[in-house]
Structure 1
Amino acid sequence: MKFINNYLPIILLSTMLNQSCTTPKEQQNTSKLSQEEISTWFEQKQWLGQSSLEPHPSIDQEAFATYYFSNQKLWEKAFDYLNNTDLQKLEVGVHEIQGRELFVIVSSYSTKSPQDVFFENHDKFTDLQYVVSGQEYIGLTNLSNAKIRTPYENERDITFYDVTSSSNLLAHPGTFFIFFPHNVHCPSLIIDQSDNVKKIVIKVKNS
């Protein structure tokens, strides 16, 4: 017992140091991280887990770090669901992952002409969008290029916009997108000809 008592403080100190050394740097307040540090964290993709999927380059890395670490457990569940669910077998409809804080909308549709769809954004939720089959363009712009067409609908958490300029992003299996409240986006756009698309949208509640 005397031997154990003599070495107990050393054991405890060693444990504390090990815990300190292994604490992920990303646990820090993201406001204190440089753009380079955020970029390195993002590109290492430890947040994604074991996955063959790729994040689209359009994802706002700084915004993602902020939203991710403000609600990390929810985002971890979202990526776990994305990586470990047979998405091909998911039925069309709404599937809860964690109540109304985290759920997935599964849709099946034909892509549409630009005049048949509108740009949108959301306040309460961030969208993680993934095309399971088929392919489409997703229009993307920012709020400075958008004028409200239909005011915010609280129940649907959506605002529709007319936009003056935008970019078309190619969405296909293997690559996912993340759209934050400042990302005005327009999914289900036709490429060359109408295509049948199955898509999942994981809705992650913002803190």
Structure 2
Amino acid sequence: MKYIPLLTIAALFLSACSSNKAQSWLAQQASAKNLKPKVYADVNLTEFKKQYAANPKIWDEAFQFMQNHNLQELAPGKYPIDGDEVFASVTEVVDKPFVETKWESHRKYIDLQYVINGKEKIGEASFENQKVTRPYDAPKDVANYEIDGGKFYTADSTTFYLFFPATTHRPNIKVNDEKVKKLVIKIKVS
């Protein structure tokens, strides 16, 4: 019989509680009630609530875009939603090996990332123990880093991820050789 350490059980319980709180709160927002993918368990719920409260209109537009379009049928390309406040892009590519991907952060926009078809790995980390490898480029709204550690998720069509300016993320990591169809919605930071 295998024994699971008490700390592991506690961590799983806290993660489930956090996920349940985030999902429960999100389900109370009128525009997200029928949203099929769930928000990922480790979302920064405090920041999510703060950003949503500061500008619910653009968040509602982002969620409505996800619900009102057949994402399976959307062609790769850019999709305006509300000017430079919120917009989307769809890509369909084979992701890259880990060593060819980069940690990144944004200051102007929050990334909502959702894998429509396929699977990819996505990493998330704080700015602790980071080394800037490419300084912030304002026109492109991106900076790159070298980071030891981080937490990695296997993203699929059941879950969407939110990356706020206080965290770095490392998307587009190859899981297998299949094409990954992905939606990224850029939501202006309030």
How would you bin the TM-score normalised by the shorter chain? 0.7 to 0.9
SS in 2 for 1:95: strand
Would you say the 8 A contact 2:22–2:41 is kept in 1? Answer: no
SS in 2 for 1:88: coil
For residues 196 and 89 of structure 1, the distance between their equivalents in structure 2, rounded to whole angstroms, comes to 15
Residue of structure 1 aligned with 2:24, choices 43, 48, 51? 43
**Which structure is larger by alpha-carbon Rg, 1 or 2?**
1
Aligned-partner residue type, residue 204 of structure 1: I
Correspondence 1:202 to 2:185:
yes
TM-score, normalization by structure 2: 0.84
Q: Does 1:135 align with 2:104?
A: no
Match of 1:62 in 2: 46
* One-letter code aligned to 2:24: E
TM-score calculated relative to the size of structure 1: 0.77
Distance in 2, matches of 1:41 and 1:172, equals 19
Write the deviation string for residues 114-154 of structure 1: whole angstroms up to 9, x where unpaired.
Answer: 11110101000001110000101001111113211101111
Q: Hey, what does 2:101 align to over in structure 1?
A: 117
Deviates more, 1:141-150 or 1:125-134: 141-150
* Matched positions, count: 169
The alignment partner of 1:115 has SS state of helix
Provide the residue aligned with 1:148 in structure 2.
132
- Pair 187,164 (structure 1): closer, same or farther in 2 beyond 3 Å: same
Aligned to 1:91: 75
Whole-Å Cα distance in 2 between the matches of residues 145 and 82 of structure 1? 35
- The CA deviation at 1:196 is 1.1
* Matched AA of 1:46: Q
Provide the rounded CA distance (Å) in 2 between the counterparts of 1:41 and 1:153. 32
Unaligned runs of 5+ in 1: 1-35
- Give me the whole-angstrom Cα distance separating, in 2, the residues matched to 1:70 and 1:59: 18
Q: Given residue 63 of structure 1, which amino acid in structure 2 is its aligned partner?
A: E
Match of 1:7 in 2: none
Are residues 124 and 86 of structure 1, via their aligned partners in 2, closer, same or farther at CA, if it must alter by over 3 Å?
same
What is the aligned-residue RMSD (CA, Å)?
1.6
Between the aligned residues of both structures, percent identity stands at 31
Contact 1:136–1:195, Cα closer than 8 Å, also in 2: no
Higher helix share: 1
Q: Is residue 42–residue 61 contact of structure 1 (8 Å, CA) maintained in 2?
A: no
Task: State how 1:2-41 maps to structure 2 within 5 Å.
Answer: 40=21
Which stretch of structure 1 is more off in the superposition, 41-50 or 141-150?
A: 41-50
4+ residue runs of structure 1 moved beyond 6 angstroms? none
CA distance in 2, matches of 1:180, 1:160: 15
